[in-house]
Amino acid sequence: MFINGLVRNRIIITGSNGILGQRVVEFYSSKNNIELLTTSVEDSPVSNSAEYVSCDIKCRDKIKKLIYDYCPDFIIHTAAFTNVDLSEKQREETWKINVKGVEYISEAARIIDALMIHISSDYIFDGKDGPYDENSTPNPIGYYGRTKLASENALKISGSLFTILRTNVLYGTAVNSRPDFLRWVIESLNKNEEIRIVDDQINNPTFIDDLVQAINKIIELKKTGVYNIGGPEFLSRFEFTNRIADFFKLNKNLIFAITTKELNQLARRPLKSGLLTLKAEIELGYKSHSLEGSFAIIKKELGI
């Protein structure tokens, strides 16, 4: 939309109270060529930096009315049921949020020609032979992963303009959200608590700010399709934890390696995973921060 000769994009951000959602809100609420509406299921926003409407995406009419009334150019869809273990028990709730929610939003997006940017996960893969590229064959081994794959398929047949950004092991600061993995490690080791970390799950952990930059590139270039967004290094969660402890000068003697089997979680996890990002690097100019580069930004933001 042009106002006084300036392009002004109207954006809706769903899941705006979540770890990723908050960071996307922080990024766009500071831009003056953007009109922004944020939404999440809670009654009130965690930050007052933008207009907020509480809406449960399970409610078809409510979420579609919200989209029609605001008529955005872009919908950044970060809302999801993200508790992987709880998904195994609360299957109907997970399906309604992660799949039906995407169906309802894409229906409205199609009608108003909005580009829907959807966040998916490496959990659509079985982790037998990662890392994966955008053409690798999905084979989810847990219910959460099944809903994320079904959400992608729902979008692909929706007839709406869409971009799917697959990511893995998000870390970074969203001030008011539940601690991400990195902050949990720092807080635990600062309290001299022993932590047991799996050494057989391989990923390329993704700095949230890199994913936010990728989302912004999609909007600037109006790119559609599927893109992997991940970090520069493939390493085990145990190695990642030791890199965090090294950088933040924390006691590595409190970090113990265990296997995923020993952790005995409700949901199975893909072990040899990770997402190759060559396509995003070539088509979006995507460039991820080094691990230590991202840690330095987080250190400054957290003031620690």
Ligand X SMILES: NC(=O)c1ccc[n+]([C@@H]2O[C@H](COP(=O)([O-])OP(=O)(O)OC[C@H]3O[C@@H](n4cnc5c(N)ncnc54)[C@H](OP(=O)(O)O)[C@@H]3O)[C@@H](O)[C@H]2O)c1
| 3-class DSSP assignment, residue 153 | helix
Q: How far is CA 56 from CA 66, 84, 96, 136, 215, in A?
A: 11, 20, 10, 33, 23
User: Rounded to 5 degrees, what are φ and ψ at 71?
Assistant: 50, 65
Strand segments (E) across 31-73:
34-40, 51-54
- Least separation, in Å, of the C-beta of 204 and ligand X? 12
Nearer to ligand X, 170 or 291 (CB): 170
Nearer to ligand X, 19 or 250 (CB): 19
- Least separation, in Å, of the C-beta of 262 and ligand X? 21
Residue nearest ligand X, Cβ-based:
18
The single-letter DSSP state of residue 118 is E
- Least separation, in Å, of the C-beta of 7 and ligand X? 27
Nearer to ligand X, 242 or 273 (CB): 273
Closest CA to 79 of 28, 10, 139, 24: 24
Nearer to ligand X, 119 or 155 (CB): 119
Distance of alpha carbon 92 from alpha carbon 88, whole angstroms: 10
- Catalog residues that contact ligand X under the rule CB under 6 A: 15, 17-21, 40-42, 56-58, 78-82, 97, 119, 121, 167-170, 177
- Least separation, in Å, of the C-beta of 292 and ligand X? 20
Q: Cα 2 to the chain's mean position, in Å?
A: 30
Taken in order 100, 73, 54, 24, is the CA torsion positive or negative?
positive
Q: How far is CA 164 from CA 32, 82, 187, 214, in A?
A: 26, 17, 33, 11
- Least separation, in Å, of the C-beta of 174 and ligand X? 8
Distance of alpha carbon 290 from alpha carbon 97, whole angstroms: 33
- Least separation, in Å, of the C-beta of 111 and ligand X? 20
Distance of alpha carbon 175 from alpha carbon 22, whole angstroms: 8
Nearer to ligand X, 34 or 102 (CB): 102
- Least separation, in Å, of the C-beta of 17 and ligand X? 4
Residue type, 283: E
Nearer to ligand X, 79 or 197 (CB): 79
Nearer to ligand X, 40 or 242 (CB): 40
